[in-house]
Structure 1
Amino acid sequence: MDIVTARDTKVVAMGRKSSGILIAFVVIMLMAIAAYIKIWTIDYRISSQESLLLRQQFDLAHREAMDESAEWRQRFDMEVEKSQMCIKELDQIKESRQAASAAGINKKLELLEKENMDLLEQIEILKQELEAEKFNCSMRHI
């Protein structure tokens, strides 16, 4: 019985050590969980404040971007108006040049027609003179 009793006492002693270790492990686990929860709540508060700050910064940047976009749109509209005015002026200049050139062309055409008529008259006169000379030459040979 001594052997059985010694063995039982060893088992009991080991059981006490195991239960002590188990209790210490459970206590350490509880402390770790508490520390984790504490850190998580601190981080959550910080991240909540950061998200609010980030949201405000985003809203500010968005408003600035919208203002800049409106400014560029206004500049674009002004340039479109300027280009339309230039196109209108160019069309007016083209029309006036065409009208002026048409009038100039008509005058030149009239002058050329007169000159052509004069030249045709001179050709007729020269033909008559040539015929007269031919006639004179043929009369001399006879």
Structure 2
Amino acid sequence: MTMRRPLLIGVVIVMAFGLAVYLRLWTIDYQISTSETELLRRQFDHANMEAMDESAEWRLKFDQAQERATKCTKELKRVKETLGDNSTASMTKRLDMLQKENINLLERVETLKRELEAEKLKCSMQRV
């Protein structure tokens, strides 16, 4: 038993030193991790603000695109309403009218050309 007592005291002393070293290492690690935590928190806040700014930019772009699409859709509906259901038939009718008018105008141009030639011929006959 006399041999065991100094061994037991040595083990207790070694355990006390081990505990002291462990606590010292833990406090150093705690101080480092506290400053790291603060740094990480600031970095996270900065990244979060950047992400919110980018999200706001994309939301603005989306809203503008949606507004343009809505405007185009409304304008398309308005045009369709003004043309009505018979838009093809009315366009065909208008095209036929324009073609007839074009033919009449071409005939009129030919008539005027003939009259011009006749007047030129008269003028040349009067000079001679």
Is this a same-fold pair by TM over 0.5?
yes
Written as runs of structure 1 = structure 2, the 5 A alignment for 1:42-53 is 42-53=28-39
Q: CA deviation at 1:26?
A: 1.4
Match of 1:98 in 2: 84
Match of 2:51 in 1: 65
Written as runs of structure 1 = structure 2, the 5 A alignment for 1:36-47 is 36-47=22-33
Q: Distance in 2 between matches of 1:34 and 1:97?
A: 92
Runs of 5+ consecutive residues of structure 2 not aligned to the other structure: 95-128
Q: Distance in 2 between matches of 1:47 and 1:97?
A: 73
Q: CA deviation at 1:103?
A: 9.0
Summarize the Cα distance change of 1:102–1:29 in structure 2 as closer, same or farther, 3 Å threshold.
closer
Q: From the two aligned structures, give the one with the greater helix fraction.
A: 1
Match of 2:5 in 1: 19
Summarize the Cα distance change of 1:20–1:88 in structure 2 as closer, same or farther, 3 Å threshold.
same
Residue identity matched to 1:60: H
Q: CA deviation at 1:99?
A: 8.1
Q: CA deviation at 1:96?
A: 2.4
Summarize the Cα distance change of 1:27–1:97 in structure 2 as closer, same or farther, 3 Å threshold.
same
Aligned length: 93
Residues 44-99 of structure 1: CA distance to partner in whole angstroms, max 9, x if unpaired? 11111111111111111111111111011101110111001101221122122228
Q: CA deviation at 1:29?
A: 0.9
Q: Distance in 1 between matches of 2:13 and 2:90?
A: 111
Runs of 5+ consecutive residues of structure 1 not aligned to the other structure: 1-13, 109-142
Q: Which runs of 4+ in 1 moved over 3 A?
A: 99-105
Is 1:74 the counterpart of 2:60? The answer is yes
Q: Distance in 2 between matches of 1:83 and 1:22?
A: 85
Is 1:28 the counterpart of 2:28? The answer is no
